[in-house]
Structure 1
Amino acid sequence: MSLKFPKQEKLKSRKVISHLFAEGKSCSKFPIKVLYLPAEDADCTKAGFVAPKKSFKKAVSRNRIKRLMREVYRLHKTEHLEINGKKFVLLFIYLGKEEVSYKKVEASVINVLKKLRDKEI
């Protein structure tokens, strides 16, 4: 697995996202929460990132937070998502009310990925 985050790994389907909110499982480490479902028919793990407009009125802030989460996921996905060849649909949600540093986002995302790996083994 490479360190890229190509188009086919991005979660874009509204149908899959609504299914994820309806039936997905979750795990969290403040300020990150991840909703996930096993994806049987997918060829790769797909991931999406959310920063709520209710908490961050300016698009600049929302985009920065999503960019930080994407970067941490891109760098650490190979270490933490190799679970017996299973594929997942993931949605990372930022729960905090204020922006935090890259190090805090990195620690939270890595922690959530470890929890996910431990739950699904």
Structure 2
Amino acid sequence: MAFSYPKKEKLKSKKLIEKLFSEGKSVSIYPIKLIYLPTMLPEEVKVQCGVAVAKKNFKSAVQRNRIKRLLREAYRLNKAVVFNNTKGKFAFLFLYLGKEIPSFKGLEPKMKLLLEKFNTLPHE
């Protein structure tokens, strides 16, 4: 369980994703922006998370998919930061804002910083 990212934690609901963009609050550490929204989720899940990369910046689907894979991996390794320190349930959407393909070594520390920054915010 420590480093898993099971299906039930993946953000799939179109309604919830639309609500995130319309009502969600955001926090960012370049090149990642986190849009979050306190929400109702199934009992056993604290956070549902999705990732997105702008088609405007990366025309190639292969490049977008690679960046999304890196974002998911960075989140998976650092999600304990959020799970252990927050009360309530959230929907997360990570947006990649950069214009070049990142390396995992560059992305992972930024993800950690972003999740720690999220923890310092008031959440109600």
Alpha-carbon deviation of 1:3? 1.2
Give the direction of change, closer, same or farther, for the CA distance of 1:73–1:84 in structure 2 (3 Å limit): closer
Q: Give the whole-Å Cα distance in 2 for the aligned partners of 1:11 and 1:116.
A: 18
Q: Tell me the TM-score normalized by structure 1.
A: 0.92
Higher mean alpha-carbon deviation, 82-91 vs 60-69, is at: 82-91
Q: CA RMSD in A?
A: 1.5
1:103 aligns with 2:105: yes
* Residue in structure 2 matched with residue 28 of structure 1 by the alignment: 28
SS in 2 for 1:86: coil
One of 88, 91, 94 as aligned partner of 1:89 = 91
* Residue in structure 1 matched with residue 78 of structure 2 by the alignment: 76
Alpha-carbon deviation of 1:84? 4.2
Alpha-carbon deviation of 1:100? 1.4
Q: Tell me the TM-score normalized by structure 2.
A: 0.90
Q: Give the whole-Å Cα distance in 1 for the aligned partners of 2:106 and 2:38.
A: 27
User: 8 Å contact 1:33–1:92 — kept in the other structure?
Assistant: yes
Unaligned runs of 5+ in 1: none
